[in-house]
Amino acid sequence: MNRIAFTLQVRPDMLDEYRRHHEAVWPEMLDALRRTGWHRYSLFLRGDGLLLGYFETPGTFQQALDGMENEEVNERWQALMAPYFEGEGKAADTQMIELDEVFHLD
């Protein structure tokens, strides 16, 4: 499994609403993530809107993104989430910045 971390920027004025959406992610979205190789997926949100995502996948980050691109539910979820992110209404999955792993304790 490959460990993937990425960042995004949530609009600071929308943090509470963004959190509320993630209290009840659609079951079909969760199924699509699992089906396309997103395992142990977590999101962490800082008070200024910095979002850190982490997941493990058998493939690459790009393969995981490509898998979700083919899921109809992802298009709906991305449209719902777009206003929460800085970046002129672009889908979050097109703005993710992958981080390089520099250390891992087994």
Q: Other CB atoms closer than 10 Å to residue 86's CB: what's the count?
A: 14
Residue 91 belongs to some domain of the structure = yes
Report how far residue 94's alpha carbon sits from residue 78's, in angstroms, rounded to the nearest whole number.
10
30-87: per-residue pLDDT in tens? Answer: 999 999 999 999 999 999 999 999 999 999 999 999 999 999 999 999 999 999 999 8
Domain that holds residue 79: 2-99
17 touches 87 (CB < 8 A): no
Residue 89 predicted with pLDDT over 80: no
pLDDT for the residue 94: 87
CA dihedral 55, 42, 65, 99 (to 10 degrees): -70
6-22: per-residue pLDDT in tens? Answer: 999 999 999 999 999 99
Q: In CATH, what number is assigned to the domain containing residue 45? A: 3.30.70.100
CA nearest to 85, candidates 5, 2, 9: 9
Known catalytic residue: 21? Answer: no
Residue 105 belongs to some domain of the structure = no
Among 21, 22, 39, 104, the one annotated catalytic: 22
